[in-house]
Amino acid sequence: MPAWIDTHCHLDAPEFAPDADAVRAAARAAGVQHLVIPAVELAHAPAVQALAQRHGDSYALGIHPLYTGRAGDGDVAALAQVLERARHDPHLVAVGEIGLDYFVQGLDAARQEQFYRAQLQLARRFDLPVILHVRRSADRLLKGLREVPVQGGIAHAFNGSWQQAQAFIALGFKLGFGGALTYERALQLRRLATALPLEALVLETDAPDMPPHWLYRTAAERAAGQPQGRNAPAELPHIAQVLADLRGLPLDTLAAQTTANALHALPRLQGRVGL
């Protein structure tokens, strides 16, 4: 059975509260050998740390752009203190999830930018890569990275242009692909996932969000009583099979290369995850 790394899974989300350990066990049984669990706000740090340590997985610490509105002005300084205390924890692999979101209405763009750049500075200070939230914000994220360079990382749930993809790759980033590429109508995303160098790709679920097509229910189906399927890390091998089919690759080849890519993007995974 191929072994996989889910480079982006919110195992600490409320949707997993009743059965997080069982969800992790199911993922392991499906071949998902390792998870990266990014925090979305400072208050989530203890939960992601505990989950990663309990299951032998990894975590990232950061303030997500969607949470900047309720973050305190002192939260970046407090995050720095948490990162300092965790500096020698081998389970800590990145600063994240950080970034910019210009899709959701009502967010303060200037405040997002402030938190983004401050957290890039933390990544530099602690010599860590970053896990980036990219939603209609690729050019601004790239501008920030050119002005505050970091060692690289992952552009999570990438769905930008070919030129933007090349720019992230040139800055040392891998591009995260997940359930969105399983939809036949996602033509641009599928073109990217097929045409980009295989060395640039990592796999992720973003569980419990970003469900693959076989879990998705339309509004009409939900109104008729069909519940939305919960995305989980155990779905990663099925998502990977779609990508392997699109690229005409053996599944083992895709597993080995995306694992190597994840280790390159997040160097502290090395020695903890076998190729």
Q: Determine the Cα–Cα distance for residues 275 and 266; give it in Å rounded to an integer.
A: 14
Helix (H, G, I), strand (E, B) or coil at 138: helix
Q: Determine the Cα–Cα distance for residues 17 and 244; give it in Å rounded to an integer.
A: 32
Please work out, in degrees rounded to the nearest 5, the angle formed at the alpha carbon of residue 38 by the alpha carbons of 101 and 42.
Answer: 80
Residues in the annotated binding site: 8, 10, 97, 133, 156, 206
* Nearest residue to 131 (alpha-carbon basis) of 97, 169, 159: 97
Residues in the annotated binding site for a divalent metal cation: 8, 10, 97, 133, 156, 206
Give the DSSP letter of residue 231.
P
Residue 69 backbone dihedrals phi, psi, to 5 degrees: -65, -30
Helix (H, G, I), strand (E, B) or coil at 186: coil
| 192 contacts 257 by C-beta, under 8 angstroms | no
Q: Determine the Cα–Cα distance for residues 210 and 196; give it in Å rounded to an integer.
A: 21
Provide long-range contacts, Cβ within 8 A and 24+ apart, for 156-160.
Answer: 156/7, 156/8, 156/96, 156/97, 156/99, 156/131, 156/132, 156/204, 156/206, 157/8, 157/133, 157/204, 157/206, 157/210, 158/134, 158/192, 159/134, 159/135, 159/188, 159/189, 159/192, 160/134
